[in-house]
Structure 1
Amino acid sequence: MQTQRTDELAYTTPLYSQAEAARIIQAPPTSFTRWAHGQRFKQRQQGRWGESAPLLTGVLAGRGLTVPFNALAEGYIIEAFRRAGLPMARIRPAIEVLRDEIGIDNALLSHRLMTDGAEILIRNGEGDLVVVRNHQGVFKEVVSEFLKSIQYENGYVSLIHLPTFEVVDVVVDPNRNSGHPTIERIGVRVEDVLSRVRAGEALSEVGEDYGLEPRELRSLIIQAA
């Protein structure tokens, strides 16, 4: 049985705007909004309007800080599936099956996704993530690949390493710098470094002050462009 993390408020307190959360996980803002609040759609056969349920948990309505770390992590995992080629029409039923078969609401955040969940999604024994609706394989190794960038505490996602920065390890940790992307090695927000670059300071001076190598600094600048 999984236990609650030490400070659940750190994971459920809104830390990000929807636009900021989408930018951190590099998902389209409109897609993130649909995942957070659901979407109205017209049912072709019945000719009536329906509404899909939200895929993310705990996102508040309105503007400002509405997205908790839990929802950001769920969005990160959904975006990983989507980038690997699984269409949203297949992701939704996959999440429903995970919730039903694993037996917990936030199955995407559970460490059991690596074990029980992987067995549910990988049916053919060849490392292919399959469509749970019809068991047709669609792409390989995506479960293990994206899980390499996630750390867990008491069975749930507690920290994400953002792979897009490549040469510098940038993490999102709700217990550090209010959940803002942080350079792991020095504990400084990415934004604090970039704000000095935008202000026109010499790259050599910024890098020296923070102990960043030129290639690390370039990676931060490129990803922020």
Structure 2
Amino acid sequence: MTDIYTTPLLTARETARYLKMPESTLDTWLSDNSGASLVHAVRPERRGWPRVPFVGIIEAYVLRTLRDELGFSMPTVRRAADLVRSEFADAYALASERIATDGIELFVRVADESLVRAPDRQGAFPEVLADYLRYISWDAAGAPERLRLPQYPSEAEVVIDPRFGWGAPVLAKSKVPVEAMVSLWRTGEPISVVAEEYELPADVVENVLRQAA
């Protein structure tokens, strides 16, 4: 069974491509040697081989969303992560359901399930928006188990699930790797044939291919 913390699934280049972010940025996050890394990597078996475990994929997705889409500074994100670490001895803070936001402040759900602001630990009762978390599925223990890639159409959900495809994006319903669909199309098959093969509408297949390619 794949261990989400220790099994390397993807290279930095693959991870950056799937998460639609610069590889150089991800490399910086993965190379953080501060002792409290926000995005975790493991030692690859050989140079150029995968070094990003599933938990690192989730951390990178959350960090990219908080920083680039919601506009939080790195110091603010670090304070929220540090609060999770101190409260729960959890090194993988960004892969936790406990960090939430209302779009203005970052909050952490502490042990008594109340929300406190990350910068000053003051209690708060905001209308918390967790849209970025809705793409992550969690297991019963609160660990991440699947990431839906938001750039793909909802009619054909594409996910990264460590149980299937060895970390490569797969169609959630059939578990078929997206790359298999792309490969069929690149052999010269028309979109209509690819759509029939995977039992999807042609416009959905065209959208999936556009995003994947």
TM class by shorter chain equals: 0.7 to 0.9
TM-score, normalization by structure 1: 0.76
Aligned ranges 1:40-189 → 2 under 5 Å: 54-60=37-43, 62-82=47-67, 83-113=69-99, 116=109, 119-121=115-117, 124-127=124-127, 141=129, 144-153=130-139, 154-167=141-154, 168-189=156-177
Tell me which protein shows more helix as a share of its residues: 1
- What is the Cα deviation at residue 99 of structure 1? 1.5
- For structure 1, which runs of at least 5 residues remain unmatched after alignment? 1-6, 40-50, 129-140
Distance in 2 between residues matched to 1:36 and 1:53, nearest whole Å: 11
Distance in 2 between residues matched to 1:201 and 1:64, nearest whole Å: 32
Distance in 2 between residues matched to 1:104 and 1:33, nearest whole Å: 23
Q: CA RMSD in A?
A: 2.4
Which of the residues 27, 33, 47 maps onto 2:27? 33
Structure 1 residues 113 and 87, CA gap change in structure 2 (3 angstroms): closer
- What is the Cα deviation at residue 32 of structure 1? 0.6
Kept in 1: contact 2:191–2:206 (CA 8 A): no
The aligned length equals 194
Distance in 1 between residues matched to 2:88 and 2:150, nearest whole Å: 27
Code of the residue aligned with 1:212 in structure 2: it is L
Kept in 2: contact 1:34–1:54 (CA 8 A): no
Structure 1 residues 119 and 27, CA gap change in structure 2 (3 angstroms): farther
Structure 1 residues 20 and 125, CA gap change in structure 2 (3 angstroms): same
TM-score, normalization by structure 2: 0.80
Kept in 1: contact 2:2–2:163 (CA 8 A): no
- What is the Cα deviation at residue 125 of structure 1? 2.4
- What is the Cα deviation at residue 11 of structure 1? 4.5
Percent identical residues: 28
